[in-house]
């Protein structure tokens, strides 16, 4: 039977029903903290450690001191959210990592979560249906085909691939329309990973549409004193541009003048854009290690779908979607560890 802790874990799925993204962010952070505090009274059920997640959290912590958080100083409310909740994204990543660690280590039986997921996903599904999003459907289809081939069910795999191919052909114009912006966005995000100058609106320099890399005051003095100005944009390849930009909604988009506000269509590239390419390496490392933990099992389909959707949409930056994905990952990784220890 699920323990009291397991039932409390299920309460995390309330996040999609909360109104307002900032309220969801508050819930995300503080409900994770509640589960962590609750786990202090429990005995660990299994061991779970992840070096890539540890390094990701440490690098995010360092970015609090590397990058400035000056965009929100004109608004006390936004400044509060930036400093105490997001803090250059550190708390957001820190509590996400701790959520996975605590749920996997202390849960007894959280398989009932599978029955709650449809309820939690419904608000998001309704929004996707309204917009006609194809990514989750495509991600699920590809995940099924990959799993069938990995499990050596080649006939079913080929049949599923053919069915998917027929669906693509029948809806080709619609799919092309949905994915048309991705190559443009990915190209610009890949450039931003290694080169991030300040961008202005037009030749008159009327408006800054991309603040480039922002350093904390102490580091900015060092950079100004010892590094040539033409080299500074290349420091994006080491430090990224900083998490503070997600609190200004226009910086979640790509090149206003060139493309006309295109959303950053990839969690991985967006994270690399914010904190540098090293974060992409750490996330891929975590995904590969999780694959090994889960093994060739039907649960791998859901995990693969999450991984694929994150590559084609910006979802982990949205608290309710991130909460659902973290829950799916926690349940699947926990099941994988149980299977390996039996």
Query: pLDDT tens digits, residue range 119-174?
Result: 877 776 766 655 667 788 888 889 999 999 998 898 898 998 999 888 888 888 87
Model confidence at 311: pLDDT above 50: yes
C-alpha 264/C-alpha 250 separation (Å) is 11
Q: How far is CA 118 from CA 12, 14, 57, 122, 213, in A?
A: 14, 12, 30, 6, 40
DSSP assignment string, 120-134: HHHHHHHHHHHHT--
Q: How many residues does the chain have?
A: 342
Contact, 274 vs 240, CB < 8 A? yes
C-alpha 247/C-alpha 73 separation (Å) is 12
- Give the pLDDT of residue 148: 92
- Angle among Cα 164, 168, 173 to the nearest 5 degrees reads 170
How much is the mean pLDDT over the chain? Answer: 82
- Give the pLDDT of residue 259: 54
Contact, 82 vs 244, CB < 8 A? yes
C-alpha 247/C-alpha 89 separation (Å) is 10
Q: How far is CA 72 from CA 68, 69, 171, 199, 211, in A?
A: 10, 7, 44, 19, 13
Residue carrying the six token digits 């610009």: 188
């Amino acid at each position: 039977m699920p323990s009291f802790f397991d039932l409390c874990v299920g309460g995390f799925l309330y996040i999609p029903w909360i109104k307002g993204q900032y309220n969801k962010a508050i819930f995300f952070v503080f409900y994770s903290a509640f589960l962590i505090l609750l786990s202090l009274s429990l005995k660990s059920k299994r061991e779970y450690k992840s070096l890539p997640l540890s390094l990701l959290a440490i690098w995010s912590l360092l970015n609090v001191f590397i990058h400035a958080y000056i965009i929100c100083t004109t608004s006390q409310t936004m400044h509060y959210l930036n400093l105490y909740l997001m803090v250059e994204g550190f708390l957001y990543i820190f509590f996400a990592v701790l959520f996975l660690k605590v749920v996997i280590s202390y849960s007894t039986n959280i398989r009932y979560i599978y029955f709650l997921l449809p309820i939690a996903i419904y608000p998001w599904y309704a929004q996707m249906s309204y917009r006609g999003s194809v990514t989750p459907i495509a991600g699920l289809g590809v995940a099924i085909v990959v799993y069938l081939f990995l499990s050596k069910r080649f006939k079913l795999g080929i049949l599923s691939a053919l069915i998917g191919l027929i669906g693509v052909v029948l809806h080709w114009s619609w799919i092309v329309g949905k994915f048309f912006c991705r190559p443009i966005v990915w190209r610009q995000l890949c450039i931003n990973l290694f080169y991030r100058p300040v961008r202005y609106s037009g030749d008159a320099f009327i408006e800054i549409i991309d603040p480039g890399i922002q350093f904390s005051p102490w580091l900015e003095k060092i950079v100004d004193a010892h590094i040539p100005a033409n080299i500074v944009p290349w420091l994006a390849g080491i430090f990224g541009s900083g998490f503070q930009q997600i609190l200004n909604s226009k910086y979640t988009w790509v090149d206003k003048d060139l493309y006309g506000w295109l959303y950053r269509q990839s969690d991985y590239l967006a994270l690399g854009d914010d904190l540098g390419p090293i974060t992409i390496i750490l996330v891929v490392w975590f995904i590969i290690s999780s694959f090994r933990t889960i093994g060739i099992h039907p649960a791998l389909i859901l995990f693969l779908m999450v991984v694929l959707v994150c590559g084609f949409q910006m979802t982990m930056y949205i608290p309710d979607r991130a909460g659902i994905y973290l829950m799916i990952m926690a349940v699947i990784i926990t099941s994988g560890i149980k299977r390996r220890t039996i």
